[in-house]
């Protein structure tokens, strides 16, 4: 892989890391600021309120997917990536200065809601723009490896947030964290986004996009996407199981270990941090493996593993009594999830032609996340509040089983020429030979 390819991957990944730091910091610090925006009472109910606002952000992702996907196809991947990080910086700053319930009543929750809507708009376009950019910028023979850095950078953003949480837990008292300490990561995120804004203004456009000869008026339009509706529905179906499993074992894991298993917040945070570090290191290895054996074997392995192991893993996690057993089970789950996360970006990008690739990835993926990924944490807390927490395990396993059917019947995509993918050539759901 040449120097220019690595430069594009580095710039795209660095921006993606800051985007997802801001996104995940909300979930990581929710246990500290949940009581700041809502009346005191049941801690689980407060977490449900903040999780509900977290989920609302996901419902803006389809809007962001459509708007920023259109920008990415019509104005270029660089333009879309620059716009997404601008929106994210503003949203992080809003949360950092939002007034509490004691100061402004539900006014603070309203500011929190507006910030999450902006974050949803930004991330709705960020995923597709970065997935498309990383896939197009890479050596055609190493697209799986290159695009795996999307989840490396996403996880690095989350790890940075968790690392900051660990530092604050050891330097501030629990009272100080609840009072004002939770604002610090959002201020850091706003500053980081400003730095990335500069980096993205100087990034290079991908050759695949620059050399695209498709009709300019049709680029990034819903009409053009409708011509590839089969591929769009395929993106929704193959995302379903993966996004539920991913958010279960990343954003929800820390709260599950502390709120359900009874581990201290510090121990739960350390488990998540360690597990996610290993998880990030696995992404390029799995991506490189897909360049050799194909995308489908990894997707099928994930779906089978998630369908079979989710119920026992979450059941055992609920009864762990220390760091090491919690870490072991968390790593097992994340190794399985790697089969999806390491390659899902390139698989989706490989389905669409250049003129509608960003929108084709963005809109259906955002819809799937709004329906399944963004609601995972809220559904988990709903089951817990209803006294049937085990029901969530079966829900996650069921979503994986649905995606398994898609993985088994879809065609392989690793050898497609991105510059020549057209409607008649795009892979669709067919029985694999």
pLDDT tens per residue, range 35-46: 787 766 666 666
How confident is the model at residue 204, as a pLDDT? Answer: 78
Q: Report which of 136, 133, 128 is spatially closest to residue 359, judged by C-alpha positions.
A: 128
Whether residue 257 is predicted with pLDDT greater than 50 in this model: the reply is: yes
Q: What is the rounded CA–CA span in Å between residue 81 and residue 40?
A: 40
Distance CA 378, CA 52 (A): 6
Q: Which of 230-239, 310-319, 369-378 has the lowest mean pLDDT?
A: 369-378
Terminus-to-terminus CA distance in the chain, angstroms?
32
Mean pLDDT along residues 364-388: 88
- What is the sign, positive or negative, of the torsion defined by CA atoms of 397, 403, 408, 413? negative
**Rounded to two decimals, what is the model's pTM?**
0.84
Residue pointed to by tokens 């929710």: 30
Return the percentage of the chain with pLDDT > 90, whole number. 47
Whose tokens are 């892989």? That residue is: 1
Confidence at residue 266, expressed as pLDDT on a 0 to 100 scale: 84
Question: How many whole angstroms separate alpha carbon 266 and alpha carbon 243?
Answer: 26
Cα–Cα distance for residue pair 15/157, rounded to 1 Å: 10
Query: In this predicted structure, what is the pLDDT of residue 425?
Result: 41
Return the higher-pLDDT residue of 138 and 69: 69
Q: Are 105 and 115 in contact (CB under 8 A)?
A: no
Residue 429: φ, ψ to 5°: -75, 105
H helix intervals, 139-228? 143-147, 149-171, 174-179, 184-201, 207-210, 222-226
Residue-wise pLDDT tens digits, 317-372: 999 999 999 999 999 999 999 999 999 999 999 999 999 999 999 999 989 988 89
Q: Would you say residue 304 has pLDDT above 80?
A: yes
Work out the percent of the chain whose per-residue pLDDT is above 70.
92
Sign for the CA dihedral angle at 94, 97, 99, 100 comes to positive
pLDDT at 80 over 60: yes
Do residues 158 and 27 make contact, with C-beta atoms less than 8 angstroms apart? no
pLDDT tens digits for range 207-231: 888 888 777 778 889 999 999 999 9
> Is pLDDT larger for residue 334 or for residue 98?
334
């Amino acid at each position: 892989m040449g120097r220019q390819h690595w430069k594009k991957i580095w710039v795209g990944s660095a921006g993606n890391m800051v985007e997802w730091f801001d996104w995940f910091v909300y979930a990581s610090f929710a246990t500290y600021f949940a009581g700041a925006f809502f009346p005191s009472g049941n801690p689980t109910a407060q977490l449900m309120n903040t999780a509900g606002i977290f989920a609302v952000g996901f419902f803006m992702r389809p809007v962001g997917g459509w708007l920023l996907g259109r920008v990415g196809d019509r104005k270029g991947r660089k333009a879309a990536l620059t716009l997404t990080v601008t929106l994210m910086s503003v949203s992080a700053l809003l949360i950092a200065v939002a007034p509490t319930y004691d100061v402004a009543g539900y006014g603070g929750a309203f500011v929190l809601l507006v910030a999450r809507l902006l974050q949803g708009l930004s991330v709705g376009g960020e995923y597709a723009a970065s997935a498309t950019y990383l896939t197009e910028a890479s050596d055609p023979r190493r697209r799986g490896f290159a695009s795996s850095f999307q989840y490396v950078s996403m996880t690095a953003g989350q790890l940075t947030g968790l690392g900051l949480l660990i530092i604050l837990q050891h330097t501030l008292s629990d009272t100080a964290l609840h009072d004002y300490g939770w604002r610090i990561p959002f201020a850091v995120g706003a500053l980081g986004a400003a730095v990335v804004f500069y980096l993205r203004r100087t990034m290079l456009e991908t050759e695949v996009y620059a050399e695209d000869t498709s009709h300019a008026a049709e680029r990034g339009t819903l009409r053009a996407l409708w011509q590839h509706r089969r591929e769009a529905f395929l993106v929704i179906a193959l995302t379903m199981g993966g996004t539920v499993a991913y958010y279960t074992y990343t954003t929800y894991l820390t709260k599950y270990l502390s709120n359900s298993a009874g581990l201290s917040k510090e121990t739960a945070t350390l488990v998540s941090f360690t597990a996610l570090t290993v998880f990030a290191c696995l992404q390029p290895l799995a991506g490189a493996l897909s360049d050799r054996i194909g995308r489908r074997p990894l997707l099928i392995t994930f779906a089978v593993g998630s369908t079979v192991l989710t119920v026992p893993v979450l059941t055992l996690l609920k009864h762990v009594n220390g760091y090491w057993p919690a870490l072991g089970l968390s790593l097992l789950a994340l190794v399985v999830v790697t089969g999806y996360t390491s390659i899902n970006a390139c698989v989706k990008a490989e389905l669409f032609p250049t003129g509608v690739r960003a929108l084709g990835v963005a809109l259906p993926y955002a819809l799937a996340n709004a329906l399944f990924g963004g609601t995972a944490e809220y559904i988990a807390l709903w089951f817990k509040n209803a006294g049937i927490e085990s029901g969530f395990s079966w829900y996650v396993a069921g979503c994986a089983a649905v995606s398994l059917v898609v993985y088994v019947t879809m065609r392989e995509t690793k050898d497609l020429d991105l510059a020549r993918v057209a409607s008649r050539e795009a892979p669709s759901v067919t029985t694999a030979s």
